[in-house]
Chains A and B, each alone.
Chain A
Amino acid sequence: SAVISQKPSRDICQRGTSLTIQCQVDSQVTMMFWYRQQPGQSLTLIATANQGSEATYESGFVIDKFPISRPNLTFSTLTVSNMSPEDSSIYLCSVLTSGTGYGYTFGSGTRLTVV
């Protein structure tokens, strides 16, 4: 299965600032996904990133707040903009795992704390 490297692993940021999270995959993939995991809650899909097109955002998430880039088939970034303490979460990128129907492989996540 794919190996995903995610940076940074954690960060503490001031409110009002922005953080860009990087996701690198060791193989070419069509779709990359960004999830948020808030403390004690389930994973929630933020958006799906396809190479060469704009990301598709889920209800409750907007491009101005979470801009996503997908410049090639192995890399994507998620930016958390104008952060507030409510944005404190773990952010995870993922790709579909071949041979498992719709099973996903996840990166190790970025633990974000906004103060």
Chain B
Amino acid sequence: QKEVEQDPGPLSVPEGAIVSLNCTYSNSAFQYFMWYRQYSRKGPELLMYTYSSGNKEDGRFTAQVDKSSKYISLFIRDSQPSDSATYLCAMSGGDSSYKLIFGSGTRLLVRP
């Protein structure tokens, strides 16, 4: 079993839709939770980061962490074609907090 599980998609939605992206994890020591966006032929770009449980909002993006369920989510409101990318969750914690464990990424396509 992988430490972090993420549905690879692809997820195809119409423009303006609300997108929900999710990851589950098994290591209860994880304390830092991040979402990265990766466009084709580019490096991952940090979108959101959260420490421990709770919600965090930044513009059209909301990150949620439920540590009791070991489940994190990224919501994108009013999705745009420019949001089409691969979204990777990542997390860290415990003795090696600097070491990120990534999900395999979900491909998102927002149709005009």
A7-43: which residues lie under 8 A (CB-CB) from chain B?
Answer: 31, 33, 40-43
Q: Which residues of A contact B46 (CB under 8 A)?
A: 1, 97, 100, 103-105
Q: Is the CB of B49 within 8 A of A106?
A: no
Give the interface centre of B36, B49, B97 by most chain A CB atoms within 10 Å: B49
Inter-chain CA distance A113–B51, complex, in Å, is 37
Q: Is the CB of A108 within 8 A of B102?
A: no
A42-84: which residues lie under 8 A (CB-CB) from chain B?
Answer: 42-45, 48, 58
Q: Which residue of A has the minimal Cβ distance to B46?
A: A103
Decide if B42 is an interface residue (CB 8 Å cutoff). yes
Q: Is the CB of A107 within 8 A of B32?
A: no
Give the A interface residue count (CB, 8 A): 28
Q: Which residues of A contact B43 (CB under 8 A)?
A: 4, 6, 92, 94, 106-109
Q: Is the CB of A106 within 8 A of B45?
A: yes
Give the B interface residue count (CB, 8 A): 25
A58 → chain B closest CB, angstroms: 8
Q: Which residues of B contact A44 (CB under 8 A)?
A: 102
Q: Is the CB of A42 within 8 A of B49?
A: no
Q: Which residues of B contact A103 (CB under 8 A)?
A: 32, 34, 46, 49
Chain B residues with CB under 8 Å of chain A are 4, 6, 8, 32, 34, 36, 41-46, 49, 51, 88, 90, 92, 97-100, 102-105
- 9 A-B pairs with least C-beta separation: A106-B43, A42-B102, A42-B104, A43-B102, A103-B46, A103-B49, A108-B43, A102-B32, A101-B32
A-B contact pairs, 16 of them (CB 8 A): A33-B98, A41-B104, A42-B102, A43-B44, A43-B90, A96-B98, A101-B32, A102-B34, A102-B92, A103-B46, A104-B46, A106-B36, A107-B43, A108-B41, A109-B41, A111-B41
- Given A33-B98, A106-B36, A107-B43, 8 more A-B residue pairs with CB atoms under 8 Å apart are A4-B43, A44-B102, A48-B98, A94-B43, A101-B49, A102-B98, A108-B41, A111-B41
Chain A residues with CB under 8 Å of chain B are 1, 4, 6, 31, 33, 40-45, 48, 58, 92, 94, 96-97, 100-109, 111
